[in-house]
Amino acid sequence: MYRTKTEQLDAHFALWRQQTRIARDKFHPDGIIDEAAYTRAKVKLCFLMKEPNNMDGDRFDFRTWWKSEVKYQFSHRLSEWAAGVRYRFPPYDTIQSTAFRSDRHQALCASALVNVKKSGGGGSSKYHSFMHALGATEKQQEVVAELVREELRIIDPQVVVMGLSWKGLRQRLFPDVTWKPSGYDLEIGEWEGRTLIDFSHPSARTSSAAVYCLLEKVMGKVKL
């Protein structure tokens, strides 16, 4: 019997490697960064992304990495979004200040990350090549989709902020979700009692302040 969600996730990742035949040294674990902090969080937040940007590097575990540091644009922007949700969206200049650095890191550690594809990829994936990497057939892709959904069930977030880029991938993961406009040119859905926000990818070349404020607006539409 598993005592923690982290133990459940580790067992789930072993099943994931078995079903997708990803070698252990190529598999990038993710999930809840700091389970104690996540448990205490008033809003259980999860980021759903496409894949690790790590084409040639050694395997790493996001949980270990993010506990120790926040590095690169991808992680910095997610830490800003997590801090916004955790601290009720202070002004962006406050979020960016040196004095708030520790708070951003704590907010990131109190969140979760799920990558659809657990092996490393490049910084600019193409839709068809990405989907083919998940599986050569729709049946194989559905295996991965169900593994993603089960990881989300284990993590059990209230809000999932998605940076999936493609509606085809969104449809593969959540085929039964009805998407509704948020009023801010983004869509919101509900899946098994959890709010899904179809949002910008954190590495997108957009203003950090603008996308932070956009998330604040969209989160104002979420009932918690």
pLDDT band at 90 (very low <50, low <70, confident <90, very high): very high
Residue 91 — left, alpha, or beta (φ > 0 → left; ψ -120 to 50 → alpha)? beta
Write out pLDDT tens, residues 194-205: 999 999 999 888
Rounded to the nearest angstrom, the gap between the alpha carbon of residue 67 and the centroid of all alpha carbons in its chain is 16
Q: What is the mean pLDDT of the chain?
A: 94
CA angle 112, 43, 78 (to 5 degrees): 45
For each of the domains in the chain, give its residue range(s) and CATH number, in order of start: 5-219 (3.40.470)
pLDDT number for residue 224:
83
Q: What is the pLDDT of residues 123-140, one digit of tens each?
A: 567 899 999 999 999 999
Q: Are 205 and 77 in contact (CB under 8 A)?
A: no
pLDDT per position as a tens digit, 46-62: 999 999 987 666 778 99
pLDDT in tens, 143-190: 999 999 999 999 999 999 999 989 999 999 999 999 999 999 999 999
Confidence (pLDDT) at 57: 62
